[in-house]
Structure 1
């Protein structure tokens, strides 16, 4: 039964929703939204590492004369360090790209768990909905790009560049929060303009949620779980505040954290 809930509002609400999303990912019917893209990513990196080692060895055999054979023992450790660095700094980015197609179905799954309907179940799906979602995504990208350019210019202007880090922090928090809230909203057929209005009408909570995501993405290993946790947390947040059809609802799932 869907029942209204009394909610604490403010910037710390976002951090609470992110933690609840992280906790909810432990449910058996949600885990595959994490481990399937993770296994795909690990497989791709495994192939990439093997290919890199194979072609690097072939390049050494082709380029290195016999009298420089001793240099091979210095080049291999250097190559391993470079390869490890590239893998470390790119793993999370690639993991998010691979996992992003899973985030829409993840938001829909959580909504069904809460007893809410999604757009496709009400005859609002199909090609038209897919096209609308893609168009909404491009509008978000354009929206972010048009606001990132002035910030980039400010970063190079003496005096103004002193406030640039703070502005980038706010912009990053807003962008991340807006992006992850879009998944549950688009599952209900709510497009870009309404998404933006909703995010701005609750801007303190929107910024708080985004800052919590930024902090989580800075934590090694755990940062892989932050994007799906943000999708779940955004879904819970919107559902409990009546922003999704059939809400507000109460999430009575016991926490395991």
Structure 2
């Protein structure tokens, strides 16, 4: 019954950032490990929001204005009693702007995660180790040496890019299927995004065990739908402008909690 009420783990997966707050409350010393990542996020975030977001906003404005102009030209060839549709065009223009702006905010937050997690990796690693120690009373680390460690980190990022591009091309092609194409592309896009988010936030604990990339991806799917709930709440947290500068370290820490509770005991 509990599984049904929590969506077979979906709602439980969503609860992990809030579980981390409870862990911080009982272990306040852990808070010291998120100070540097927050500073790194603020520095990276300033450049991203000034560059990527405002550039993207200009592109959004250009696309919207172009679409409205096309609709205006179309209405100009229609009988005069169709002039009342101008209000509909204005409404559609604002609706498109809002949708594109939300997507742009999510994209900016997603890029911020990629850079922030990479640049603050040593501090996130310490945070993850301390959380795992508190949660399981032990920390498993397989040492491979600094050079190989750096190589694995680079390969991890490259494989994520390959996964995004490969799935992105397939989703783009499937989007042309009549009627169901839009549904497939939406679900597919959310699935890929959720998988990447889980890989980023689970990696602190998984990488210490030097797991292969395919194994990490399989663990994300083995914990579905809890991993989907976790990815959704993290996507919301990283999509809120400026607030995400603080919430990203919490997502990293809650990812370690998720691994300790749902992966280490059941799948490793």
**TM-score, normalisation: structure 2:** 0.60
The 3 A distance-change label for structure 1 pair 211 and 242 is: closer
In structure 1, stretches of 5+ residues that fail to align are 1-7, 49-84, 249-257
> 1:182: Cα distance to partner?
2.2
Separation of aligned partners in 1, 2:250 and 2:40: 14
Q: Is the 8 A contact 1:11 1:205 kept in 2?
A: yes
CA distance in 1, matches of 2:46, 2:238: 22
Residue 142 of structure 1, CA deviation: 1.2
Distance 1:186 1:114, change over 3 A: closer
Greater CA drift, 12-21 or 90-99: 90-99
Q: Does 1:227 align with 2:248?
A: yes
Does the CA contact (< 8 Å) of 1:107 and 1:231 recur in 2? no
Q: 1:206 to 1:153 in 2, by over 3 A?
A: same
Q: Deviations over 1:39-63 (max 9, x none)?
A: 4237758998xxxxxxxxxxxxxxx
Cα displacement string for residues 147-187 of structure 1 (whole angstroms, at most 9, x for unaligned residues): 12111122233323231323322332223223322232113
In the alignment of these two chains, the number of paired residues is 199
Structure 1 residues 205 and 212, CA, compared in 2 at 3 Å: closer, same or farther?
same
Q: CA RMSD in A?
A: 3.5
Matched, 1:141 2:158: no
For residues 242 and 46 of structure 1, what CA distance do their matches in structure 2 show? Answer: 35
SS at structure 1 position matched to 2:210: coil
Kept in 1, the 8 Å contact 2:20–2:250? The answer is yes
More helix by share: 2
Residues 95 and 133 from structure 1, CA distance in 2 versus in 1: closer, same or farther, beyond 3 angstroms? closer
Q: Output the CA distance in 1 between the equivalents of 2:192 and 2:139.
A: 32
Give the alignment's TM-score, normalised by structure 1: 0.63
| SS of match in other structure, 2:139 | coil
- Bigger RCO (CA 8 Å, 6+ sep): 1
Among residues 176, 181, 186, which one is paired with 1:161 in the alignment?
181
In the superposition, relative to structure 1, how do residues 46 and 207 fare at CA in structure 2: closer, same or farther (>3 Å)?
A: closer
Q: Which residue matches 2:205?
A: 184
- Cα gap change, 1:91 to 1:11, in 2 (>3 Å): closer
Residues 95-129 of structure 1: CA deviation (Å, up to 9, x unaligned): 4354222145314323234323353xx53332112
Partners of 2:173 and 2:49 lie apart in 1 by 40
The equivalent residue for 2:139 is: 117
Moved more, 130-139 or 25-34: 25-34
